[in-house]
Structures are given as structure tokens and as C-alpha cells.
Amino acid sequence: MEAVSDITSQAGTALPLLRIDGVGKRFGGFTAVDGVSLDIRPGEFFALLGPSGCGKTTLLRMLAGFETPDSGRILLNGEDVAGTPPHLRPVNMMFQNYALFPHLSVRDNIAFGLRRAGMRRAEINARVAELVALVRLEGLEKRRPEQLSGGQRQRVALARAVARRPRLLLLDEPLAALDKKLRDSTQRELKALQRTLGLTFIVVTHDQDEAMTLADRIGVMNAGQLVQVATPRQLYETPRSRWVAEFVGDINIIEGRITTREAGRLRLTTGGAGELAATLPPEFGDAAEVCVAVRPEKIRLSLRPPVDDPAGGAINRLEGTVRDVGYLGSASSYTVALDGGASLRVSLANAARLYADAYAVGQRVTAWFSPDDCIVLDR
């Protein structure tokens, strides 16, 4: 897979806070991080997303100074930080396991970095009180970490990491240990905190919903490489490659070959879904063997075939039988076996409460979607 460089796409914008330029890291013969280039703007909330073992933590540890890159440069405000040890970098990290000091109270944990910075006692007290209020830990200042719940520990770790007002805060799976409810509320707090303090965050996660909710931009990593950097919407609606399309969210992939290509419109023959029409994406090469990707919520179902739109633009209509219905509360997920052989996943919102299961298993239906909703990708 070809890696992307984010640097060129941003030429002309303000000086980045952080520039990662061709950074690589090998462990023995194994390449953990492979030529990653990325710019982070001041005040940005950036998420690093990728499957387990793809090198996210390693990249973060290089930014914090715990690992030395084998190649490339890391520039913080234009300065190469290669030779700067962790304790001299204006960067703080929130560790995956929180790494709270077990022998110190909540208060002393939060104040730890401030004491090292040589702040006055009164100043430290004021700052700690402010942080304790910010992460809502009032009344727990004297407790030891082991006397706290998981969510409270996580908030102590967060307060400790932001205490020194680092220009860049690195968070390694900050919410991984929390349950769904707590995670949702903490996500909102995290975002609010970042706005209030005006900090720059890089968050590592393998939870895509988390990345989508939190981040201004998302960098997707695979096998040590950065494969796409985009806003959440771009990432979801215009993935750069088949791998990204399949990794981010749910998607139907239909392989086919282009038969005609005219006026921004492609026609394809596919193995499992017959003839399809798709909108030609900009900057599309001249490959003929491609795949068409359609998100489940972009497909609609009806009992009778819908009429063609009068403008003459074809709507893709595929006949099939409902094979499986999954009720998920806010939406239902249908699996439709197409007559052509392929299988489509379709997601429909349950907009009305007393809406009897419109499409039952075994029912003949027509699945239809607009050519604009087709993502055409290299195979």
C-alpha cells in the first residue's frame, strides 16, 4: 500500500506546531513505523486510527522522546527535537495504562510535573485546585490511585498530563478502559477540555467512533504507514483505498470492470450485481478492473422498483431477497441476497415507533442507490 504524505497538501497554511517528516522505526528486522509524514496544526485535535500493532504507540513514543526514530525528523515549532530527552520536551503524554504514581495522592500526582517545573507553592496549589475542579475530582484529592474507580483514575491521569500546559498533549487510548456510557461522557469532557485550554491533542485510538466524534482530522495507519489523513467526513465518504474503505465503518464492496466512461459517469459490469452506474471520481486513473463501494445506509429498499428519475440518470436497482434482519434500536440492518449472487448489507433508520417490520426474511425487494453514492476504488 502506498503511503501518503500530508505535508504537501497543506503547503501555504500557518507554520505547523509539529512536523513529522519521513519518520521510521525498526525493532530488529521488524519495521514498526515506516516513513510517516504528517503536519499537526496548533490547536488541532488529531486522532491516529489503526488496527492493533500498526505502530500507533511507537509513533507516539517517538514524539514523547521514549524511542529514537531510525530515520526522518520530528520538528516541534520548526526545531528538530531528535536530541532532546523526554523531560526537556514541551510535550506531555497520557499513558495507555495511566501510569499514576501509586505512592502519591491524587493531589501530589497532579502537582508532580509542576513541582519539577519549579513553580511556587501558592501557584501550584492554585493550579491543582483549578485542575481538580476541571476534571471534577473535588473531595478526592487526598486519595491514593488504588482508592479510585477506573474513570476517576483516568481523569487524574488527564489532569496530570495537562497540568504543565504542554503545547502538545499525546493521549494513548485514553478511554479504552472505560465502559460505553462513561466513555461517551468522557469524550465530551475531553473535547471541552481541549477547547478550554486551547491545547493541541494527538489521540491514539482503535475505536473509530471515538476518532470520528473527537477529531478535527484523522490519520489512518496500517502496518507502520500512514495511509490516509482526512477529516472524519472525508474519510468516511471518500476513502482513498479499498483498505481504508473497509477499515472505516461498514461497507459493501462489489468488484467489477468499467465498460463505458463518459461525461463523468461510469458504467460497470459486476459479477454479483449486474450492471451498475457510478459517478466518476475526480483524479481517477485509467484502471478498468475496479471495485464499487457503497455504505449500507446509502442503500434504500422498496417492495416495487422505483421509477427512473426523469433526468435520465440511472438509479442502480438491484433485485433480491431479504436473508436476514437485525434490529439495532435506532436502525435495522438487512442482508439482501441479490439475484446476481452478491450479498448487500442495508441499514435503514427506524424512523417511526409503530412501524411493523416492513421487510421480513424471505421477502422480494428492490435495493436501490444513486450513482453518486458509489465510491469507485482500485481493487
Partner 1 sequence: MSAPRRFDAMSRFNVAALALGLAFLYLPIVILVIYSFNASQLVTVWGGWSLRWYVAFFNDEAMLAAAATSLRVAAVSATLAAVLGTLAALALTRGERFKGRTLFSGMLYAPLVMPEVITGLSLLLLFVALGMERGFWTVTIAHTTLTMCFVAVIVQSRLGGIDRSLEEAAMDLGCGPVRAFVAVTLPLIGPAIAAGWMLAFTLSLDDLVIASFTTGPGSATLPIRIYSEVRLGVKPMVNAICALMIGAVALTIITASLATKLSGRRGGNAAPM
Ligand X SMILES: Nc1ncnc2c1ncn2[C@@H]1O[C@H](COP(=O)(O)OP(=O)(O)OP(=O)(O)O)[C@@H](O)[C@H]1O
Stretch of 55-63, 86-94, 136-144, 190-198 lying at the interface with ligand X (CB under 6 A):
55-63
Type of residue at 163? A
Cβ closest to partner 1, residue 25 vs residue 345: 25
Is 206 one of the binding residues for ligand X (CB under 6 A)?
yes
The one of partner 1, ligand X, Mg ion, none whose footprint includes residue 86, by CB under 5 to 8 A per kind, is partner 1
Cβ closest to partner 1, residue 46 vs residue 95: 95
Q: How far is CA 186 from CA 93, 190, 210, 212, in A?
A: 18, 6, 11, 15
- CA–CA distance, 27 with 146 (Å, rounded to integer): 34
Cβ closest to ligand X, residue 29 vs residue 329: 29
Q: What is the DSSP string of 203-221?
A: EEES-HHHHHHH-SEEEEE
Instruction: Give Cα 303 distance to the centre of its chain.
Output: 36
What does the DSSP 8-state code read for residue 194? H
Instruction: Give Cα 122 distance to the centre of its chain.
Output: 41
User: Rounded to the nearest whole angstrom, what is the least distance from the CB of residue 60 to Mg ion in the complex?
Assistant: 8
Q: Applying CB under 8 A, which of residues 45, 95, 236, 334 lies at the interface with partner 1?
A: 95
Cβ closest to partner 1, residue 146 vs residue 286: 146
Is 99 one of the binding residues for partner 1 (CB under 8 A)?
yes
Is 56 one of the binding residues for ligand X (CB under 6 A)?
yes
Cβ closest to partner 1, residue 163 vs residue 367: 163
Stretch of 26-34, 83-91, 98-106, 264-272 lying at the interface with ligand X (CB under 6 A):
26-34
Report the residue closest to ligand X, judged by CB.
57
The one of ligand X, Mg ion, partner 1, none whose footprint includes residue 145, by CB under 5 to 8 A per kind, is partner 1
Is 58 one of the binding residues for ligand X (CB under 6 A)?
yes
Contacts 24+ apart (CB under 8 A), 260-265: 265/313, 265/371
Is 187 one of the binding residues for Mg ion (CB under 5 A)?
no
User: Rounded to the nearest whole angstrom, what is the least distance from the CB of residue 175 to partner 1 in the complex?
Assistant: 18
Query: Are the C-beta atoms of residues 111 and 163 closer than 8 Å to each other?
Result: yes
Contacts of 85 (CB under 8 A, 6+ apart): 65
Is 52 one of the binding residues for ligand X (CB under 6 A)?
yes
Q: Applying CB under 8 A, which of residues 9, 68, 71, 97 lies at the interface with partner 1?
A: 97
Cβ closest to Mg ion, residue 24 vs residue 256: 24
Q: Applying CB under 6 A, which of residues 32, 111, 190, 248 lies at the interface with ligand X?
A: 32
Could you list the beta-strand ranges (E) of the chain: 18-27, 30-40, 45-49, 71-76, 79-80, 91-94, 168-172, 200-205, 217-222, 225-230, 252-262, 265-270, 274-279, 289-294, 300-302, 316-327, 331-338, 343-349, 364-369, 375-378
Q: Applying CB under 6 A, which of residues 4, 16, 23, 55 lies at the interface with ligand X?
A: 55
Question: Residue 281's closest CA among 220, 240, 227?
Answer: 240
Query: Are the C-beta atoms of residues 319 and 339 closer than 8 Å to each other?
Result: yes
- CA–CA distance, 245 with 237 (Å, rounded to integer): 9
Place of cell 483505498: 241
Cβ closest to ligand X, residue 24 vs residue 50: 50
Query: Are the C-beta atoms of residues 331 and 310 closer than 8 Å to each other?
Result: no
Is 57 one of the binding residues for Mg ion (CB under 5 A)?
yes
The mark string for 170-209 relative to partner 1 (x by CB under 8 A, - otherwise) is ----------------------------------------
Strand partners, 93: 170
Q: Please report, as residue ranges, which positions from 102 to 121 form the binding site for partner 1 (by CB under 8 A).
A: 102-103, 112-113, 116-117
Buried (b) or exposed (e) across 266-276, using 16+ Cβ within 10 A?
bbbebebbbeb
Is 93 one of the binding residues for partner 1 (CB under 8 A)?
yes
Query: Are the C-beta atoms of residues 7 and 75 closer than 8 Å to each other?
Result: no
Cβ closest to partner 1, residue 91 vs residue 248: 91
Contacts 24+ apart (CB under 8 A), 263-269: 265/313, 265/371, 266/371, 266/376, 268/292
In the complex, which residues of this chain contact partner 1 (CB under 8 A)? 64-66, 85-87, 91-93, 95, 97, 99-103, 112-113, 116-117, 145-146, 160, 164
In the complex, which residues of this chain contact ligand X (CB under 6 A)? 27, 30, 32, 50, 52-58, 206
In the complex, which residues of this chain contact Mg ion (CB under 5 A)? 57
